[in-house]
Amino acid sequence: MIALKRIPRMKKWLKRLSYVLLAYFVFCLPNNLFHEPYSTVIEDTHGQVLMAHIASDGQWRFPPSDYVPEKFEKALITFEDRRFYEHHGVSLLAIGRAMVQNIRSKRVVSGGSTLSMQVIRMSRGRKGRKLKDKLQEMIMALRLETQYSKPEILNLHASHAPFGGNVVGLEAASWRYFGHQADQLSWAESATLAVLPNAPSLMHLGKNRRALLAKRNRLLHRLHKQGHISDMELKTALNEPLPAKPKPLPQLTPHYMAFLTNHIGLGKRIETNISGELQAGVNKVVQRHFESYRHQGKANMAVIVLDVHTENILAYVGNTNCSEADKKHVDIVQAPRSTGSILKPFLFAKAMETGLITPDKIVPDYPTRINGYAPQNYEESYDGMVPASEALARSLNIPAVRLLSEYGVTRFKDNLEELGLTTLFRPAENYGLSLILGGAEASLFDLAHAYARLSQSAQHREPMYGLSPSVSYEILEAMSAVNRPTIEQYWNRFENKQKIAWKTGTSFGARDAWAIGVTKNHVVAVWVGNATGEGVTGMTGSNSAAPVLFDVFQRLPRSSWFTIPTRDMKYVKLCKHSGQRVGQHCNDVRETWIPKPCLRSQSCQFHQSIAVSKTTGKRVFAGCELPSNIITKSYFVLPPAAEHYYKNNHPNFTTLPDFKEGCTSNATGLDIIYPMARSAIKIPVLLSGKTAGVIFEAVHRQPDMELFWYIDGKFIATTTENHQLQVIPVKGKHHLTVTDKHGQKRTRVFTVI
């Protein structure tokens, strides 16, 4: 009777116990099975490892992948758990077999654990092997099977199994032991990795290699017996040797990895658009040039390759394999550096957009001083006037500075920011006109993207980034017509391969050498110099960065040239000499396509109608010649300072005729070349201690005209033909005046310091 009375109470407790067990079963599995830190892995566009960094706990443990390769899956299941796809986490047959084996051996030789139970044991840190631990693993394995699919469980096992030493997970093991990704494992390699986790501390590549080889081969025979591998595959696999020692992981993109982890974080698998093959090739190019350049005092180099259409990074070299003293760790792709002339294409593009210039309009190229700023061309020579496209191709400084002065520094700075330059932190007035010659800093990263957008614009139907297709096309055409003797051998070598638009730049003091090339599909940007900021005598973008640029382009697929965007252009008549739209006095005319924005430009200002005498051919006016003896002719007329240099480079240039005797003119044929307006002059001192003279220079349209020189109103000398005068003015502010016999005069204010 007492026992019968206890039955309801026992049922009640059994019910409670069942609820507890059910609750335990439901909640026994943590939300995250594994909490170990992972290695940071950078992959290329094909899933190949470019770079990996060891996990914070010192283990090579890659983040879990999405699948397990078929060969390894079959090898692992055959070796560890043949009924993996049949049981629900626990195999009673395996447990029974293990018990029999352990009783016969009088020791634990088999645990009967399924792969699911092994996943649970790994997630718990392999805590204990007592009966209660085994029961707990079984319950959790059953729960695991209700929450995860079989492929997911297999993936968890492959991603967290120990493979000896500090190698954890299939992918890390595949790279460390065989040097390639897991889906490229052979049958022999798969079998080797399948047996390693069974006892990684007792048997691995560095210990008990014979036992490991025998174990691998037994598994291969089982795989053959089950029909997974053929006779030939078995023979091949059995002949494969074990790897000698762990291999180093790829280290192709150390600086790009640092850049990505800084933005994304550590312990992640990061898929990139980099081509591993191209990256390796660019690394070789950089290393080869570095071996040569470092003996010239150039320790650092950076290269970035972009896909024009997506702006994806295809290759990234942040620095050379230099020493730590040379700042090996600095990622120069991201470092702001003085731009030199590398921004000029964007200025010429914006000037075309606003109608300031046409591609062929002649622009001034003679000694210039603007608000105290006196730029010089790199070769210290002048053309007087030069077509805008040629000025860009030759990277002439004076035309660029004068153009920026006319266009506006503030407006141009805004344009650069619109194109993606992120390092222009100072106000526009702080940069001044030097902005176009290296007065600002930009990163190779930003510049590469800006040039990609220039290429995009040339291929698009509508304006992009404030650039119309036709203007972008004209700029790229000008950049493709490079004519620089110092690197002619490189251009001729490359021209047979494909046509590119490219620009170089060199910063003040030869601290930065740039070269950026563009095609329809790719941008290659190169920087050479010293990360310490030390200049290198004779280093230029042409002789240092351009050779690297061409070598990288040879590793890229060939691109066809841009299609001329005639839909965004107008077929017009241009003055042959000035490059401007035809004016009323232009004689030589040609027809061509120009960008529609250039239609806003002025008509020709350089051709003038000049009155000359029928009998003498000299210039006259109505007051000094009979009207019946006057005819008009069209002349190409340049400012005197420009004419002085222009005629030296253009032998066929026709100067204005002299005035007929007795005729005078208010026309200006006189100009002062040096000193420039409001200049500050320092008088040099010779080694002997004597004060050297300063050479002042003037020009006149009439070469034989006599000029009269005055300083502060005091006459000092006359000159004829060669209008140069050596003077030694005292310190202070002075007025220089030069006049001719007709009363024309020019005045310059200068200061001797």
- Residue 619 three-state SS: strand
Return the pLDDT at 200: 62
For all residues of the chain together, what is the average pLDDT?
88
Indicate the DSSP class of residue 203: S
Tens-digit pLDDT profile for residues 524-563:
999 999 999 999 999 999 999 999 999 999 999 999 999 9
Residue of higher predicted confidence among 13 and 295: 295
What is d(CA 155, CA 145) in angstroms, rounded to the nearest whole number?
13
Return the pLDDT at 204: 62
Residue 516 has pLDDT above 70, yes or no: yes
Residue of higher predicted confidence among 206 and 267: 267
| Cα distances (angstroms) measured from residue 586 to each of 334, 581, 633 | 51, 9, 10
Return the pLDDT at 642: 86
What is d(CA 156, CA 208) in angstroms, rounded to the nearest whole number?
28
Q: What residues have CB less than 8 Å from 257, skipping those under 6 apart?
A: 40, 42, 50, 51, 53
Residue 136: what residue type? Q
| Among candidate residues 382, 431, 438, the one with its CA nearest the CA of residue 411 | 431
| pTM for the structure as a whole | 0.84
Residue 102 has pLDDT above 60, yes or no: no
- Residue 300 three-state SS: strand
Query: Domain 32-39+64-239 adopts which CATH fold?
Result: Penicillin binding protein transpeptidase fold (1.10.3810)
> Angle CA(425)–CA(431)–CA(435) in degrees, nearest 5?
105
Asked if 431 and 339 touch (Cβ cutoff 8 Å), the reply is no
Tens-digit pLDDT profile for residues 53-69:
999 999 999 999 888 99
Residue of higher predicted confidence among 687 and 579: 579
Examine domains 32-39+64-239 and 670-752 and report if their fold is the same.
no
Return the pLDDT at 101: 55
Q: What is the dihedral of CA 631, 635, 639, 644, to 10 degrees?
A: -110
pLDDT grade, residue 380 (50/70/90)? Answer: confident
Asked if 698 and 706 touch (Cβ cutoff 8 Å), the reply is no
Residue of higher predicted confidence among 487 and 646: 646
What is the per-residue burial (b if ≥16 Cβ within 10 Å, else e) of 573-595? ebbebbbbbbbebbeeeeeebbb
- Residue 595 three-state SS: strand
| Cα distances (angstroms) measured from residue 448 to each of 357, 400, 466, 527 | 26, 21, 17, 11
pLDDT grade, residue 33 (50/70/90)? Answer: confident
Q: Which CATH class is domain 670-752?
A: mainly beta
Residue-by-residue DSSP string for 471-488: HHHHHHHHHH----GGGH
Indicate the DSSP class of residue 545: I
Query: Domain 301-316+327-553 adopts which CATH fold?
Result: Beta-lactamase (3.40.710)
Burial class (CB in 10 A: 0-12, 13-18, 19+), 355: middle
What is d(CA 291, CA 302) in angstroms, rounded to the nearest whole number?
14
Distance of CA 487 to the CA centre of its chain: 22
Return the pLDDT at 144: 87
Locate the domains of the chain by residue range.
Answer: 1-30, 32-39+64-239, 301-316+327-553, 670-752
Number of helices and strands (H, E) in the chain? 22, 26
Strands (E), 267-321: 269-271, 300-307, 313-317
Mean of pLDDT values over 713-742? 85
For residue 201, the tally of other CB atoms under 10 A from its CB is: 9
Tens-digit pLDDT profile for residues 168-212:
999 999 999 999 999 999 999 999 999 988 666 555 666 788 888
Residue of higher predicted confidence among 355 and 139: 355
pLDDT grade, residue 488 (50/70/90)? Answer: very low
